[in-house]
Structure 1
């Protein structure tokens, strides 16, 4: 019986090649698109899920309650991990970890820039980064030790075995001993690093950690088995006040977040975790579902539209004894054969397109063909898709009355026509929503890229201040300034697009003692304003002509608003216990992501920086020559460090890398949604033209023009697109408005965006319909009328 069903199904598909091809192609693209999105989503969901202690791992975050706002971040105190483990018995292990940065390491003739950080001695017992050489106990115990990756061991020593016990030069300052080699960090880890140094070395190098009002590193803990994290969170809530006094106008709390959730849920809003990359995972999960649904709708529409062609077949089968269940199985079999064929084609499409998709998403995606679960899931999706796509046509076709069919009196009720039109409206509603989302996302990213940051990021070069450049900065600046094409040079801690350090130790006469205000702060060098091309609202930049500038400050407009000075130049300001005067007020400029508003900023002059970034303003068009000269100068002054640099505009662009990837994906999926919808529309238009061929022929004989016939055939479909547009507008407006609220600075959603999306959908639909309408209108009417 099953063999008979499949044989009839195959013959039906072959007999109607054009419609079968449309359905198979639409379903194949829908399945391929959904499969690639599913691989991307799974990779996102699997991030950090490989750790054996996953259910016991948590990250500590800090929440700060100020008088006028609440903030939160992952930055914590430097001694927090050690103290938590010592004081809270429910905590089995704990480690601090500083942000991964680039360092220079040397062994023999090999000098390389590597990514690394500092971590506590519990790190390798908490996280599942397997050691190839060395032991967990000794890997990060000593301040002179270093644990390196397999890749790093092979680059510097040949293999992991030869690396153990060997010295390696760190930042040309000290020799470290390799005590462990760990396996290369998997791509499923949100933290990527080549080496780790011990936390005792971090504490030794950073004396500020003993002040519990300072924060910088992250803190991770591992709870003992069966411990309730809520109870631990309650115990550590006011933990910092065991080591520091409470301050008026500020309350600090500690909280816990499961480590496995950190990658997807990392955005804080008003002090609470509120989204992150999980938003994009949800969006694209819905996109995958809707694109597949659009493809299923094509099959439903074409099957029900062509129901009149199969009415006699159903009538005859019923007359000779076929029951409705057997007819339902027959039509579902046709749907399954079609869907399985589309599934095979989709798999080949994914194999071809996956390398491109992986490059687009900056991931290492692959089809898990060796995993039985993959095949089970794929077959399940194909079966469900076939069942959904074939269910309504099967129920609809099998319900025909055989007497009315064979008498030729079969007429379809209004409901079936409305259902089919509703499906077309639904398709184009989703397509228009995707187009609007694509346009808004593209415009927002374009707005960000061209936003006036308050400084000129074009032709601005960053060079890390490291090695001999720390002591020889003045010489470097003098010699570099002589190079043709260099306009000015300065330096600062961190970089202009990543100024994350904050202080609450700023005070001034008349400040409310109950008010605690966080200020962004950074030390800078001479010529900072000129090099950055900042605009001074009042006063001047730091200058060697004024010996008192070492106790002077620059502030921005937002800081001035907090201070309340009417005439700020020369007014006193305290940074902790250091009293100084304000010498300049800068117009506000963006020094972080535009997800955040501009914070009050205080800058001081530091003539003895131990680390930071050298800023070089280059004359337009002279960059290649300047880089050649700088590299030569760098080699002569800083022999043991490779010459590296970065452009300001590149660093700024990297802040929005995730959004750029999502925008590109949105463009691709919007195109696919429209393409699949148009495939269905093309099929419906073809069937409509075919079913009205005699009417068209009579109209032509009576003098109707091609234009009139095209309009007649297109009008109904254009109306459906118009209805879809009306439905999509309010949904799209709400959705994009909510997304834009994530940005402190964003575009306004203007009416023309919706009009453009509607017009695009309409033009695409009309072009698709016209291909069939024009063909029908140009056909010879004599041939159609002779067939009567």
Structure 2
């Protein structure tokens, strides 16, 4: 591929690459499917900016700037130095400049006024909490079942103690049984994940992949299984190993009231966690229903969209007229990006009477004619874009 010539027939909103020829100067390895930065090719930007004037303004924020720092540079000290850089070059700007570590971009991406307030890490934490609750419920259930079966194993324990079995040996046996059951459950869960992950990915229309058989993942996975087994088996092991062999062999053994009281506490705690999970599930369901039914200012029920590339984008008007001739299509328009996503903002809008020290962030959407009618937007004042005036 090195040295070959290829032609790009695509026009980006910011850069013109229509029918431009490029020579392959380098080849990079395919990026993994779980990477947030995946490209088919990387093209030069400097010579093909469609609107060079806009890139001379300090308010332009729809591009990402990557800075490679030396290893000994402190990111906080560096941010303190560049904090007022934009304000010093444009007095109308009130926002600050700061850098974010590249490794944090995927999980920590939600900023307000330059301060981190969350991101995808919130979902990770939520799922971790749910997983911990589920493991706790399963562990408590295992403890209750083990202690409830104490009368069935009492004679076995009494005989073993009578022939000289030490308490530590019995504890080791019960802990081993707990670990064996936990490891078996972990292996079964791993097999279920492998079998269920592909159809579940198809169901949610997302590519879910994870390197389950990497050393790090396996160590964490089975480490959690071992800790769970030790915690779940600890109380039953100490409880069963404390049986008095004389009382057991006489046939007068009955579980103590203390163990029954503890089982009641564990059952109440288990039900409390279950109710908490049910409430959380209902809350999430209500939030999803709210988002699905919330009035977003446009009619989404009969609205579909597609990304325009190549000839369809270059000859948009002809493509639009062809679509309008199809039965069932009542409106067609084009926008710079998905109207429901904020991808372009600015603070440099000026009007008479604006306080120069105030900051107003505008979410911008580049749109074509008929955008109001096609999206069924409710106009409070004014009119739709006019083909006569524009």
- Shorter-chain TM range is 0.7 to 0.9
- Confirm whether residue 246 of structure 1 aligns to residue 91 of structure 2: yes
Aligned to 2:131: 288
> Which digits, 9 at most, give the CA deviation of each residue in 1:701-748, with x for residues without a partner?
xxxxxxxxxxxxxxxxxxxxxxxxxxxxxxxxxxxxxxxxxxxxxxxx
Counterpart pick for 1:367 among 212, 227, 232: 212
Distance in structure 1 (CA, Å) of the matches to 2:96 and 2:138: 51
Describe the SS at the equivalent of 1:536.
coil
Distance in structure 1 (CA, Å) of the matches to 2:336 and 2:193: 46
- Structure number with larger C-alpha Rg: 1
Equivalence map 1:261-660=2 (5 Å): 261-359=104-202, 362-368=207-213, 371=214, 376-377=219-220, 379-462=222-305, 473-474=316-317, 477=320, 480-544=323-387, 549-550=389-390
Instruction: Tell me, yes or no, if the aligned pair for 1:290 and 1:430 is still in contact at 8 Å.
Output: yes
The offset of 1:200, in angstroms, is 1.4
Distance in structure 2 (CA, Å) of the matches to 1:454 and 1:311: 69
The offset of 1:396, in angstroms, is 0.7
The offset of 1:266, in angstroms, is 0.7
Give the superposed CA RMSD: 3.0
Instruction: Tell me, yes or no, if the aligned pair for 2:345 and 2:364 is still in contact at 8 Å.
Output: yes
Instruction: Tell me, yes or no, if the aligned pair for 1:170 and 1:176 is still in contact at 8 Å.
Output: no
The offset of 1:254, in angstroms, is 1.3
Change (3 A) 1:486 1:197: same
Q: What stretches of structure 1 of length at least 5 have no aligned partner? A: 1-160, 551-788
Equivalence map 1:158-169=2 (5 Å): 161=1, 164-169=3-8
Distance in structure 2 (CA, Å) of the matches to 1:464 and 1:377: 41
The offset of 1:344, in angstroms, is 4.2
Describe the SS at the equivalent of 1:486.
coil
Aligned to 1:224: 70
Change (3 A) 1:233 1:309: same
Distance in structure 2 (CA, Å) of the matches to 1:375 and 1:399: 36
The offset of 1:167, in angstroms, is 2.8
> Which digits, 9 at most, give the CA deviation of each residue in 1:485-542, with x for residues without a partner?
3323444433422354333343444433443423334454443322222222334333
Equivalence map 1:755-774=2 (5 Å): none
Change (3 A) 1:293 1:522: closer
Q: Which stretch of the first structure deviates more once superposed, 452-461 or 300-309?
A: 452-461
Equivalence map 1:108-123=2 (5 Å): none
Change (3 A) 1:437 1:206: farther
The offset of 1:385, in angstroms, is 3.1
Aligned to 1:92: none
Structure with greater strand percent: 1
The offset of 1:219, in angstroms, is 0.9
> Which digits, 9 at most, give the CA deviation of each residue in 1:571-621, with x for residues without a partner?
xxxxxxxxxxxxxxxxxxxxxxxxxxxxxxxxxxxxxxxxxxxxxxxxxxx
Aligned to 2:45: 199
Instruction: Tell me, yes or no, if the aligned pair for 1:168 and 1:178 is still in contact at 8 Å.
Output: no
The offset of 1:304, in angstroms, is 0.8
Change (3 A) 1:205 1:181: farther
Change (3 A) 1:375 1:246: closer
Instruction: Tell me, yes or no, if the aligned pair for 1:354 and 1:365 is still in contact at 8 Å.
Output: no
Q: Which stretch of the first structure deviates more once superposed, 474-483 or 396-405?
A: 474-483
- Confirm whether residue 180 of structure 1 aligns to residue 26 of structure 2: yes
Aligned to 2:54: 208
Instruction: Tell me, yes or no, if the aligned pair for 2:197 and 2:208 is still in contact at 8 Å.
Output: no
**Paired residues, number:** 381
Change (3 A) 1:356 1:294: farther
Aligned to 1:170: 9
Change (3 A) 1:338 1:500: closer
Q: Which stretch of the first structure deviates more once superposed, 422-431 or 387-396?
A: 422-431
Distance in structure 1 (CA, Å) of the matches to 2:361 and 2:380: 22
| TM-score where L is the length of structure 2 | 0.84
The offset of 1:228, in angstroms, is 1.8
Instruction: Tell me, yes or no, if the aligned pair for 2:107 and 2:119 is still in contact at 8 Å.
Output: yes
The offset of 1:276, in angstroms, is 1.2
Instruction: Tell me, yes or no, if the aligned pair for 1:492 and 1:525 is still in contact at 8 Å.
Output: yes
Instruction: Tell me, yes or no, if the aligned pair for 1:264 and 1:277 is still in contact at 8 Å.
Output: yes
Aligned to 1:48: none
> Which digits, 9 at most, give the CA deviation of each residue in 1:634-683, with x for residues without a partner?
xxxxxxxxxxxxxxxxxxxxxxxxxxxxxxxxxxxxxxxxxxxxxxxxxx
